[in-house]
A and B are shown apart, each in its own frame.
Chain A
Amino acid sequence: MYKRSGFLAMSIRHLVIWFLIAFAVFPIVWIGMASLNPSNSLITGGLIPRQLSFVHYIEMFSNPRHPFGLWIWNSIKIAAISSFLIVLMSALGAYAFSRFRFKGRRAGLLTLLLIQMFPQMLALVALYLLLLSLGEFVPWLGLNTHTGLILVYLGGALGFNTWLMKGYFDTIPKELVESAMIDGATPFQAYWRIILPLVKPILAVVFILSFIGIYSEFILASIILSDSEKYTLAVGLRLFVFGQYSTRWGVFSAASIVGSVPFMIIFLLLQRFLVSGLTRGSTKG
């Protein structure tokens, strides 16, 4: 489809692309500069700071009124634990749906398929009230608890991920399990020793996608968590900066940079699976 174009045409392309790259990286470069600029205001200082300083990084970790370190840790903890449990549970479910033939299998699969179309956050009123009543009986599962939030994330992600994994499990030849069972393995041993190592890529994809999704999740975390020391970064950062762009910009910038690091690490791990994973049709936000 492509022919070698003339110098002018090629230069225009490069120019357009550089212009768009500027559009893509400008907010991030700018926030990086602002985080190193000792001025705390959005308005002063220009793009390149006159002097570099780490005051905002020190301030963000040391001021107990906005414990960013804690919030970032909360986000990592919640995202990691939820993702791990999501992988564990949906792999178990996918194995059962893929390997066994049992009564209710077809109905179960269809139910999962239909219900995973319902975005969990649409039931936010019900989830809020459910945790409220759950908390009366089991306090560590109620509102304003990390375990409660993890349980919510867990329940919301299982439908889709079980389906995703089942598709992958289906591609593993049946003979592998059967020969292992002839050698005396129980079905669980076959699952644990034979199947799981073979489906590692999909386990990684589900873990990474779940982590990224939960790390950025805002709406459910914001209605469930109410104490400052329980906040995730998404909730804390928004409350910290909203309406005070003029006065807190430096600290906000530093927190944004540090808060993006865990996400970017996971994202780099994802890149290998990027195209296949992205076909799930996710957009960010």
Chain B
Amino acid sequence: MSANIIKVVFLGLTNALGIWAATGLYVTSNWVLLIVLVAGLVLLDIALLKKNAYPLRYLLPGLLAFGLMTFYPIVYNIAIAFSNFSTGHILSKEQVIHHFENVYYQPEGADRFSSQAFRDGDRWLLILRSQTNGNLFLGLDGELIPLDPNDARLLYENGDIIAFNAMTPLAVRDLVANLDVLRSLTFSEGENTVRLASLREYRAEKRRYAYDPGTEKLLNLETQITYVPIQGTFTSADGEMLDPGYRVNVGWENFQRIFQNRQIIGPFWRVFGWTIIFAFFSVTLTFALGLGLAIMLNNPYLKLRTIYRTLLIIPYAIPGFISLLIWAGLFNTNFGLINQFFDFWFQFKIPWFQDGLWAKVAVLFVNLWLGYPYMMIVCLGALQSIPSELYEAAHVDGAKSFQRFWGITIPLLLSSISPLLVGSFALNFNNFNVIFLLTQGGPPVAGAQTPAGATDILISYTYNLAFAMGRGQEFGLAAAISIIIFLIIGTISALQFRMTKKLEDIGENL
């Protein structure tokens, strides 16, 4: 009974709190969070009030975190992939139109005014002196009122106004502190609007653009040029484009760019090819070394083998990002230990990070160092699970040692390890750290429109497109490429599932 009261009170409080937060989200049109919040509230109510929804109580925390941080980003990512979201197209359409509606220009012959600001409590007033004819105006409540220079409220010293109505003008420091207020003070002067131009100057200006919501066209009032929105950019008939543009759905445009734009398609396929090569060799090299070591360490006649195993696992016990940065130093062309060695013995230095091919060699070498302990451990486990009777029987039948290796060890090993090899391939396909921390994708390849270096793999390429410093941010294109990566990874994972027959097991378990 008391448990029920607690439940009702708890639900009442959370619902009230939730609804209060929801109105806030609604007002700021933060739809994503609103949906998550409402879904969370509804699910919470269901979980606690409906008897047969009991399991939901256990699932709810995970469900919300998963929904917000995994499920939603995937959906959002797809939406971005079909949009022109990028530098110059960051804002929404409303924001961009609002921006253009607040762009002003100074028409020919329009007046400029030297200004002094006065503050009377919350009320602001300006004294403006025309720079063309020296006339004085009082700027108050959006109106310019002509002011007689001999007005009794004005107090002069050396020809400068030092007080108005016993108020002193604001000092520069106060002007700077109240810049937003000064900016909001505008006055109409005929067709023009008098607006803040600098701390001590106001100008008579006109709105540059007029937006017609009906035709969605933007008219430049000074030049009378009409701009039509084309894919999120206001464009004139001559092809002049106004910056900023806005976010808009562009359909398959990003994908078309990947597959049709020559300057993008070139780097894309090059990066794609290297990604496959990198993942493939990373797996085969680590597997070959790991298997070789496992076979040697598995030999019961080998002394010290436990110590050997521990020492050989060491690369796995260091955080990957640290070993990668260490290796980047070792491979450093001018100062690195490896080139010191080559320089000392062979009198030359290898351009590890300056030459595309050598950079690829370095990346694969370091990834071998990082990855072989995993393969070694896995192979050791798999080797121990191969029944020794098989070898004895083969021995009795007169099989040579390499026959036993190729006929028994390899097939049995592969049957248990191949899903892991495929999994390792999928992970290396997205092994961002190895590329980014070692070569940063470099060295750069000349002549590419998109930032793709010689060792960039698809995921680091995506990162460059979206977040590279100093370049435009191509969120839309990056999202489109990440979807392509996902399709590839999805295919590989499906293959992996078929190999492990995991899906069938799952089917029985559901």
**Bound together:** yes
Size band of the B side of the interface?
35 or more
A238 & B370 in contact (Cβ 8 Å cutoff): no
Contacts of A234 in B (CB 8 A): 319, 321
Contacts of A110 in B (CB 8 A): 510
B510 & A109 in contact (Cβ 8 Å cutoff): yes
A92 & B510 in contact (Cβ 8 Å cutoff): no
A110-131 vs B, CB cutoff 8 Å, 1 = contact: the mask equals 1011010111111111111110
Docked complex Cα distance between A152 and B190 (Å) = 56
B428-447 vs A, CB cutoff 8 Å, 1 = contact: the mask equals 10111110110010000000
Contacts of B30 in A (CB 8 A): 133, 136-137
Segment at the interface with A among B59-67, B128-136, B153-161:
B59-67
Docked complex Cα distance between A230 and B308 (Å) = 40
Contact flag A2-B299 (CB < 8 Å), given A129-B80, A260-B322: yes
B57 nearest CB across to chain A (Å): 8
Docked complex Cα distance between A118 and B77 (Å) = 12
Segment at the interface with B among A58-66, A156-164, A200-208:
A156-164
A263 & B319 in contact (Cβ 8 Å cutoff): yes
A80 interface residue, CB < 8 Å from B? no
Contacts of A28 in B (CB 8 A): 314, 318, 323, 326
Interface residue count for A (Cβ, 8 Å)? 102
B432 & A256 in contact (Cβ 8 Å cutoff): no
B452 interface residue, CB < 8 Å from A? no
Contact flag A123-B326 (CB < 8 Å), given A13-B302, A109-B510, A133-B30: no
Docked complex Cα distance between A129 and B369 (Å) = 36
Interface centre among A25, A106, A128, A137 (most CB of B within 10 A): A137
B403 nearest CB across to chain A (Å): 12
B315 & A24 in contact (Cβ 8 Å cutoff): yes
What is the chain B residue whose CB lies nearest that of A4? B301
B71 & A115 in contact (Cβ 8 Å cutoff): yes
Contacts of A252 in B (CB 8 A): 325, 329
B58 & A93 in contact (Cβ 8 Å cutoff): yes
Interface residues of B in 41-94 (CB under 8 A from A): 52-56, 58-59, 61-63, 65-74, 76-77, 80
Interface residues of B in 360-383 (CB under 8 A from A): 367, 369-371, 373-374, 377-378, 381
Contact flag A281-B424 (CB < 8 Å), given A1-B391, A154-B69: yes
Interface centre among A41, A118, A133, A285 (most CB of B within 10 A): A285
A225-260 vs B, CB cutoff 8 Å, 1 = contact: the mask equals 000000001100110011001100100100010011
A178 interface residue, CB < 8 Å from B? no
Segment at the interface with A among B6-14, B103-111, B263-271, B330-338:
B330-338
A20 interface residue, CB < 8 Å from B? yes
A27 interface residue, CB < 8 Å from B? yes
A283 & B319 in contact (Cβ 8 Å cutoff): no
B127 interface residue, CB < 8 Å from A? no
A24 & B76 in contact (Cβ 8 Å cutoff): no
Interface residues of B in 287-332 (CB under 8 A from A): 289, 293, 296-304, 308, 311-312, 314-330, 332
A-B contact count (CB 8 A): 301
A93 & B323 in contact (Cβ 8 Å cutoff): no
Which secondary structure characterizes the binding site on chain B?
A: helix
B479 & A219 in contact (Cβ 8 Å cutoff): no
A285 & B69 in contact (Cβ 8 Å cutoff): no
Segment at the interface with A among B175-183, B211-219, B234-242, B459-467:
B459-467
Contacts of B314 in A (CB 8 A): 24-25, 28
B275 interface residue, CB < 8 Å from A? no
From B312, B317, B321, B336, contact of A21 by CB (8 A): B312
B59 & A285 in contact (Cβ 8 Å cutoff): no
What is the chain B residue whose CB lies nearest that of A166? B509
A284 & B374 in contact (Cβ 8 Å cutoff): yes
Contacts of B486 in A (CB 8 A): 118-119, 122
Contacts of A99 in B (CB 8 A): 55
Docked complex Cα distance between A23 and B373 (Å) = 12
Docked complex Cα distance between A121 and B74 (Å) = 10
A122 & B69 in contact (Cβ 8 Å cutoff): no
A278 interface residue, CB < 8 Å from B? yes
Contacts of A219 in B (CB 8 A): 432-433, 436, 459, 463
B475 interface residue, CB < 8 Å from A? yes
B340 interface residue, CB < 8 Å from A? yes
B contact set with A: CB distance below 8 Å = 24-25, 28, 30, 32-33, 52-56, 58-59, 61-63, 65-74, 76-77, 80, 289, 293, 296-304, 308, 311-312, 314-330, 332, 334-337, 340, 367, 369-371, 373-374, 377-378, 381, 388, 391, 404, 408-409, 419-420, 423-424, 427-428, 430-434, 436-437, 440, 459, 462-463, 466-467, 475, 478-479, 482, 485-486, 489-490, 493, 506, 509-510
Q: List 25 A-B contacts (CB under 8 A).
A: A1-B388, A17-B297, A20-B293, A27-B330, A43-B340, A90-B62, A95-B58, A102-B55, A108-B59, A113-B506, A115-B71, A118-B70, A118-B489, A122-B459, A133-B32, A155-B67, A155-B68, A219-B459, A223-B463, A234-B321, A242-B325, A249-B329, A267-B317, A283-B424, A283-B427
Given contacts A16-B296, A124-B462, A127-B69, 13 further A-B pairs with CB under 8 A are A1-B409, A24-B311, A31-B326, A102-B52, A112-B66, A122-B485, A123-B77, A125-B80, A125-B479, A126-B73, A278-B377, A279-B420, A284-B371
Closest 9 CB pairs of A and B: A155-B69, A281-B423, A96-B58, A123-B73, A100-B55, A126-B73, A126-B76, A126-B77, A89-B62
